Amino acid sequence: MVEDLYSEFDSDIIIRSTKGKTFDSSNLDLKKIQSTSGVKSTCKAVEEIVVLRHEKKWVNAKMIGVENNYLQMANVQKHMVDGFPHLTEKNTPTALIGAMLLQKLGGYIPTNAGHETILCYFPKRDARVSVSSNPFRSQTLTVAGRINYNKEVNDSYIVLPLDLASSMLGYEQDITAVYVSTKSNSDLEKIKEEIQNKLGSDFEVKTHLEKNELIYKTSKSEKLIVIAILVFVFILAAFNLVASLTMLYIEKKKNIITLQSFGANESFIFRIFFYEGLLIAFKGIIYGILIGVGVCLAQIYGKLLILPNTDNQAFPIELTFSDGLFVLVLVSILSILASYFPVKYLVYKNR
């Protein structure tokens, strides 16, 4: 799910200058990058913070100006909410906007092949802020469609043609980044290192994993967090098991004396209560697994939980045999320990 949400809008590899915000695109040999094994395509990009206005509403937005091939790189067609996935129409530049961003502006895309118009204020490159000067250039934008990727994109991003963005920002040949798309099943780290070696220290090369490092690390550590919570919950539940075995031992103390009079030794008494503890624990394990699998299947096929700010997308769940076996083994080991030590202590104390 994290890959789908973040990897398609963010290109596989991003190239930026280490010496400043922008760099002259003529200083970067794109043919050298495209000749790298595993590289599918490249796209020049301009990124900037802009101000959008629609009627009386004003919103800050993250603008990216890109070439037309970005639409294929980002698989825009798949993520359209309404409108059309293009950056030009009849030689007129158009924009694609995050679904929630247009809603913040109070705009909408008419259903009958219509468009929305918004006013965009671009910061002048070398402008000085003063009472008499205007630090912005303004341009009326025709919004062709709304896109839906993830919350950040939906709330903040607007996509424009590269020529329009460069012209309004006064960048001429300058760009802020180059997006690189790679072939499927390619080794991103290997491609990144090869491109970095070709470009040298003047440029910084990052994968989309490094750009959203915190998100990916969090998603990878989620399973460990859930396991830690599972162990904590079991420790709390183990107190009930210990209490049940203790009360059972006290209740059956006369029966224990009777068994001992028939020749039952400590080992025999221990096994009776130890197996009783295992029966209690494994009964809970079986019920827990059945209920857990049932809830997962209900989510997979019934969509009980829906992700916020998505087009009715269910919270993803995947049932795997290895995870089920791991949980079963982990809880079984904890159950054995929770039954063994209390019973061992009770038998030893009441010899």
Lowest mean pLDDT among 7-11, 308-312, 321-325: 308-312
Q: Residue 127 — very low, low, confident or very high, per pLDDT cuts 50/70/90? A: low
Predicted pLDDT at 111:
73
Mean pLDDT over 317-324 rounds to 87
Among the listed residues 43, 88, 37, 92, the one whose alpha carbon sits nearest the alpha carbon of residue 64:
43
Mean pLDDT value of segment 105-134: 79
pLDDT at 13 over 70: yes
For residue 102, give both structure tokens. Answer: 């247009």
pLDDT at 179: 93
Write the CA distances from 45 to 5, 22, 122, 173, integer angstroms.
Answer: 20, 10, 16, 11
Phi and psi based region of residue 172 (left: phi greater than 0; alpha: psi -120 to 50; beta: remaining): left
Position 241 scores a pLDDT of: 86
DSSP symbol at 29: -
| Amino acid sitting at position 118 | I
Give the distance from CA 32 to its chain's centroid.
32
Q: What is the DSSP letter of 21?
A: S
pLDDT at 223: 79
- Section 110-119 average pLDDT: 81
Domains of the chain, residue spans: 2-211, 221-349
For 272-291, how does the pLDDT look when each residue is reduced to its tens digit (9 = 90+)? 999 999 999 899 899 999 99
DSSP result, 184-246: TT--HHHHHHHHHHHH-TTEEEEEHHHHTHHHHHHHHHHHHHHHHHHHHHHHHHHHHHHHHHH
- Alpha helices (runs of H) in 9-150, residue ranges in sequence order: 30-34, 70-73, 99-104
List the single range of 13-17, 30-34, 214-218 with lowest mean pLDDT: 214-218
Read off the DSSP letter of residue 12. Answer: S
* Confidence (pLDDT) at 291: 93
Distances (CA, A) of 59 to 62, 63, 104, 261: 10, 12, 8, 86
**Of the spans 2-11, 158-167, 215-224, 296-305, which averages the highest pLDDT?**
158-167
**Greater model confidence, 13 or 125:** 13
pLDDT at 101: 93
Q: What percent of the residues of the chain are helix, what percent strand, and what percent coil, each to the nearest 5?
A: 50, 25, 25
> Is pLDDT at 132 greater than 70 in this prediction?
no
pLDDT digits (tens, 9 = 90+) for 176-186: 999 999 988 88
What is the per-residue pLDDT for 5?
62
Q: Which residues contact 171 (CB under 8 A, 6 or more apart)?
A: 22, 46, 125, 165
- Residue 215 predicted with pLDDT over 80: no
Cβ(54)–Cβ(27) below 8 Å: no
Q: What is the largest CA-CA distance in the chain?
A: 106
Check residue 216 and give its pLDDT: 67
pLDDT over threshold 90, residue 52: yes
Closest CA to 146 of 62, 74, 194, 81: 81
pLDDT at 2: 63
pTM of the predicted model, to two decimals? 0.67
**Rounded distance, CA 5 to CA 315, Å?**
13
- Taking residues 107-115, report their average pLDDT: 78
Above 80 in pLDDT, residue 347?
A: yes
**pLDDT category, 262, cuts 50, 70, 90?**
confident
Choose between 296 and 129: higher pLDDT.
296
Q: What average pLDDT does the segment 315-323 reach?
A: 85
User: What is the overall mean pLDDT for the chain?
Assistant: 87
Query: Helix or strand or coil: residue 168?
Result: helix
- For residues 201-217, give the mean pLDDT: 79
Residue linked to tokens 């290109």? 11
